[in-house]
Amino acid sequence: MRRPVIAGNWKMYKTQAETRAYFAALAPLVAGSTHCDIVVAPPFTALAAAVEAAKGTSISIAAQNMHWETEGAFTGEISAGMLLEAGCRAVIIAHSERRQFFGETDERANKKVKAALAAGLTPLLCVGESLAEREGKKTEEVLERQFRGGVAALTSAEFSRIILAYEPVWAIGTGRTATPEMAAEAHQFLRQLAAAAFTPERADMLRILYGGSVKPDNIKGLMAQVEIDGALVGGASLKAEAFASIVNF
Ligand code: 13P
């Protein structure tokens, strides 16, 4: 039985003051929600405020990106160790917006996954095809390349510590959700890849989240699919009430 994960990716939203107000509203709404892991990923500048505000709750804090080196002359970058020290438990890696706008490659994603694991963070590795790729019938090819690239050279034990997120680019921020069946099909394909790259047992334990226009009114249908182990929520995670109702699907 895979434990569900509901994660909120705030992207470049919320100040520290907004972060404190959000957690004050969210905490009581999810206080009894023991059926899933709850994760919130604020921007770097709000991490400390989020960690402080989430103390005594079951909400874990994640970062949205990191660098693969432990330290060095890398202006503007943050290491896994720094995130851990700030109180993060997880880190989103290779979100499609980083792939699209900031030159994230599978090779870099792989370095980041390894560095996150080495530091003791849970990597939340994102994969997903664009609309042109889906329409060109390239979905499986893209997912296979991103998956294999992202988890390359991981040991089976390391692989057991990652979470995968399937986020079709065409469904992100567009209000156009993949149907539960479409998402489940992609998840099943990813699980087959995991079984081939590692073992069927590892694949069976891998948690695969769906992301792309997840809202309070479509989460139930998505979570009804056995292949879908949770959600990575963007826009709807910005309002505590909406995110709480997704958590409490
Ligand atoms: P939306 O939920 O806003 O479509 O964003 C999804 C996403 O990118 C989460 O990482």
Ligand 1 pocket, residue 233 CB under 6 Å: yes
pLDDT at 173 over 90: no
The pLDDT value recorded for residue 13 is: 98
Q: Is the pLDDT of residue 197 over 90?
A: yes
User: Is 178 exposed, middle or buried, given 0-12, 13-18 or 19+ CB atoms closer than 10 A?
Assistant: buried
Pocket test for ligand 1, best of 167, 177, 209, 222 (most atoms within 8 A of CB): 167
| pLDDT per position as a tens digit, 206-224 | 999 999 999 999 999 999 9
Does residue 213 have its Cβ closer than 6 Å to ligand 1?
yes
CA pair distance 71, 9, nearest whole angstrom: 25
- What's the pLDDT tens digit per position in 74-132? 999 999 999 999 999 999 999 999 999 999 999 999 999 999 999 999 999 999 999 99
Tell me the CA–centroid distance for residue 172 and ligand 1, in Å: 5
Q: Is 167 a catalytic residue?
A: yes
Which tokens go with 50?
């989020």
What is d(CA 61, CA 175) in angstroms, rounded to the nearest whole number? Answer: 26
52 pairs with which residues across the strands? none
Catalytic residue among 95, 97, 133, 227: 95
pLDDT in tens, 222-247: 999 999 999 999 999 999 999 999 99
- Please name every residue paired with 204 in a beta bridge, in sequence order, or none if there are none: none
pTM, entire model: 0.98
**Residue 84 CA from chain centroid, whole number:** 17
| 3-53 pLDDT per residue, tens | 999 999 999 999 999 999 999 999 999 999 999 999 999 999 999 999 999
The atom number, within ligand 1, closest to the CA of 96 reads 8
Q: Is the CB of 247 under 6 A from ligand 1?
A: no
In order of start, what are the domains of the chain with their CATH numbers? 5-247 (3.20.20.70)
